[in-house]
Amino acid sequence: MAMLETEVRDGVDRETVEAVQAMSGKYKYGWETEIEMDYAPKGLSEDIVRLISSKNDEPAWMLEWRLAAYRRWVKMEEPHWAMLAYPAIDYQDQYYYAKPKSMSVKPKSLEEVDPKLLATYAKLGIPLKEQALLAGVEAPEGERRVAVDAVFDSVSVGTTFKAELAKAGVIFCSISEAIREHPELVKQYIGSVVPPSDNFFATLNCAVFTDGSFVYIPPGTRCPMELSTYFRINAENTGQFERTLIIADKGSYVSYLEGCTAPKRDTHQLHAAVVELVILDDAEVKYSTVQNWYPGDENGKGGIYNFVTKRADCRGDRSKVMWTQVETGSAITWKYPSCILRGDDSQGEFYSIAIANNAQQADTGTKMIHLGKNTKSRIVSKGISAGRAQNTYRGLVSMHPKAKNSRNYTQCDSLLIGDKCGAHTVPYIEVKNNSSRVEHEATTSKVDEDQLFYCRSRGMDEEEAVALVVNGFCKEVLQALPMEFAMEAQSLVAISLEGSVG
């Protein structure tokens, strides 16, 4: 809690400062599970790619796909355009596959899973039982259930409620299982949103992804419960490369949650994930993330390097995606959950709160690619920097010539706590037709005029009204987070954007 001595200028909400400090003062999830692991040899080569593929019993086409990606990756250069400073990553000095020994024979049901693993998730507040309630969460009105896929280092430990979801026609399993059980779906959609040639980290992921989650929601189906994946990195010197593929068929709906933590270690660990969402006509996907990887200590020792490619392809007309992210962890965050609004009348939303403290560096934002007619997008990004942290919003809004009558509204606010940190905004705006309207705002004074007018008509002065509207909105985003994240969200509710600098 060294932060408390930081001189905080007037106008910054005290409660916010304390909440930011409390959040990063002590990393709750920094303990380690002592468990015997099987490792692939250190380093990266075609043999490692073959080994990962064979460990997962993959068909030949999958191996070929991985090898093609690997051969491409070898010729690629790591990108350095982000406002991130970190020593060169030695891709040969880490393990690409680590699996608990007890998982060598895949457990047939949750009862057979190593109790140590179950205890790990229980301690994280994610009990792998088919129970209605999550630890620490008050029972909401009516029954509320969440199905969980738990990924521990390189493998999926288990998936809950599978049978019940299957009754509704929903497929929810690890991606390694999906490649074996539903190859036609995987083959059709994998790499169709984030192709193997996309970027350095995504290509690496294509070659070495070990596990992840797979979701298919059939046409016209509202997924009967929320789905979630919980990622835990445990083994030392091990990178985690998971791949998530979600397909929402016509007229379906799913809310998907993602959480991640890792033990405290002195060395940096690499996490390079790919998430692909395919959304067909009239379907809707809500994707919420609380990213809480180990951020490193106060001096920047250790912490996860988080290089993630997340993209939603709103392929169908009237399809809809909503990304909500709360980014508090990782030493380095490089992440731009994006929306390709291909279908007419499709919608993309991106709500982000990124908090960087101590030596953390975050370069995060979104891309809204408007291709279809009457497409709408909304970006709300709140960045908070404290300590010596650097926090960058980087975003692209692109209106293609054919995206007639489309709309974008972007608001990004930054707050600095202390004078040794940095807050940066790098938006790219490309408008190629005139019936679309694009608005980018980065001032707290430019909040919704109607709401402001209402507040002012009730006798509030301008500043009070703005603060109320902005804070109200921030809370609104947090409240939009599903119950699963209620604990995290509660600690964030104290955050206000008073004193934002734009």
Partner 1 sequence: MAVARAKDVALAARIDGLDLPKGGWLGEARSKAMDRLVAMGLPTKRDEYWRYTNPSSLVSAGAPTSAVFNPDDETPAFDQIGRLKLVFVDGVFDASASDDLAMTGVSIELLSDVAKTDIHWARDLYGVLETRGQSPVERPLAALNSAFATEGVLIRVSARAAKPIHLIYHSNSVTSDVMLHNCVKVEAGANVTLLESGPAAARFIQVMEVDVAEGGVCHHVRTQGRNHERCAATHVFARLAAKARFKSFTVTANGRLTRNEAVVELIGDDAAAHIAGAAMGDGDFHHDDTVFVTHQGERCESRQVFKKVLKNGAIGVFQGKILVKQGAQKTDGYQISQCLLLDEDSQFLAKPELEIYADDVKCSHGSTSGAIDETALYYLRSRGVPLKLAQSLMVLAFLAAAIDEIDDELIATDIRERLQNWLSRHEH
List residues binding partner 1 (CB under 8 A): 9, 12, 81, 83, 401, 404, 414, 416-443, 445-446, 501-502
Q: Residue 307 Cβ, how far from partner 1 at the closest point, in Å?
A: 20
The separation between CA 325 and the C-alpha centre of its own chain, rounded to angstroms, equals 6
424/456 with CB nearer partner 1: 424
36/461 with CB nearer partner 1: 461
Query: E strands along 320-389, which residues?
Result: 320-327, 332-335, 338-341, 347-356, 361-364, 367-370, 376-386
Q: Residue 261 Cβ, how far from partner 1 at the closest point, in Å?
A: 30
Residue 354 bridge partners (DSSP): 327, 383
Rounded distance between C-alpha atoms, residue 202 and residue 213, angstroms: 16
Q: Residue 421 Cβ, how far from partner 1 at the closest point, in Å?
A: 7
Q: Residue 359 Cβ, how far from partner 1 at the closest point, in Å?
A: 15
12/227 with CB nearer partner 1: 12
CA angle at 92 for the pair 94 and 53, rounded to the nearest 5°: 75
428/453 with CB nearer partner 1: 428
| Backbone φ, ψ for residue 291 (5° rounding) | -95, 110
6/491 with CB nearer partner 1: 6
> CB within 8 A of 364, min separation 6: which ones?
325, 327, 333, 334, 335, 336, 352, 354, 392, 393, 394
Buried residues in 92-121 as b, exposed as e (16+ CB within 10 A): eebbbbbbbebbeeeeeebeebbeebbebb
Rounded distance between C-alpha atoms, residue 418 and residue 487, angstroms: 27
The separation between CA 49 and the C-alpha centre of its own chain, rounded to angstroms, equals 25
271/367 with CB nearer partner 1: 367
Rounded distance between C-alpha atoms, residue 215 and residue 217, angstroms: 7
302/383 with CB nearer partner 1: 383
Tokens of 277: 């969402």
Q: Residue 485 Cβ, how far from partner 1 at the closest point, in Å?
A: 29
Rounded distance between C-alpha atoms, residue 175 and residue 182, angstroms: 9
Q: Residue 415 Cβ, how far from partner 1 at the closest point, in Å?
A: 9
Q: Residue 430 Cβ, how far from partner 1 at the closest point, in Å?
A: 5
